Amino acid sequence: MILTDILTILAIILATSAIALLSAVTLSMIQRMLSKLQLQLPKKVVKEIKKKRRTENMSQAREGVTFNDIFMFMIAVPLVLLWVGFAGFVIHTGLNNSAVLENIEAYTTLIAILGGPALLIIKDALDVWKQEQAEKTAFYQVKAQAVIDYNDTVLKQAQEIETKAQEQEHKMENKK
């Protein structure tokens, strides 16, 4: 009885969070559509927008909400949370209640059914994370090499300027 009450409460919480997420996605899509329609803004707002430098916008890459984003937040995240929560609940109640241990096969079957897709989702999420980390590492390596090359170039240029200045001084001294 307690198990069904807890699962019901968990389902209600997940449904509420899914509705909130769906509302946020819908609001985001409506805002994008309105921005594409380019509603008339007051001249003061337009001037403030034009004052922004172009480079400020370059650092803030905007990506749209994709089907995969919606899928992850509507299905994958609740599934993984439900799996982890249910497994933790079974372990916790199994340690405290012998009735749970008598029906442990049914619980482990349910955990296994939820665990298959949840583990695939977790594996894919970790693969994406690894890929992002590899891209960041490659970016920082390129950036570091660019800084090193820039510093070398600046030093060479400073040395050339100093050499030319000394040559000019010698020429001026020889002419006197």
Q: Is residue 85 part of a domain?
A: yes
pTM equals: 0.45
- Crossing angle, helix 104-175 and helix 77-96, to 10 degrees? 130
Helix (H, G, I), strand (E, B) or coil at 143: helix
Does residue 140 sit within a domain? no
CB neighbour class for 73 (10 Å; exposed up to 12, middle 13-18, buried from 19): middle
CA distances from 82 to 2, 88, 107, 111, 175 (A): 16, 10, 13, 10, 89
Whole-angstrom CA distances from 86 to 57, 82, 92, 109, 112 are 44, 6, 10, 12, 11
**Which amino acid type is present at position 135?**
E
In this structure, is residue 18 part of a structural domain?
yes
Q: 23 lies in a domain?
A: yes
Per-residue pLDDT of the chain (176 residues; tens, 9 = 90+): 676 777 777 777 877 777 777 777 777 777 777 776 665 545 554 455 555 545 445 444 455 677 766 777 777 788 888 888 888 888 888 888 888 888 888 888 888 888 888 888 888 888 888 888 899 899 999 999 999 999 999 999 999 999 999 999 999 888 86
Locus of tokens 């009885």? 1
Q: How many domains are contained in the chain?
A: 1
Q: Determine the structural domain holding residue 102 and report its residue range.
A: 2-37+65-132
The answer to whether residue 44 sits within a structural domain is: no
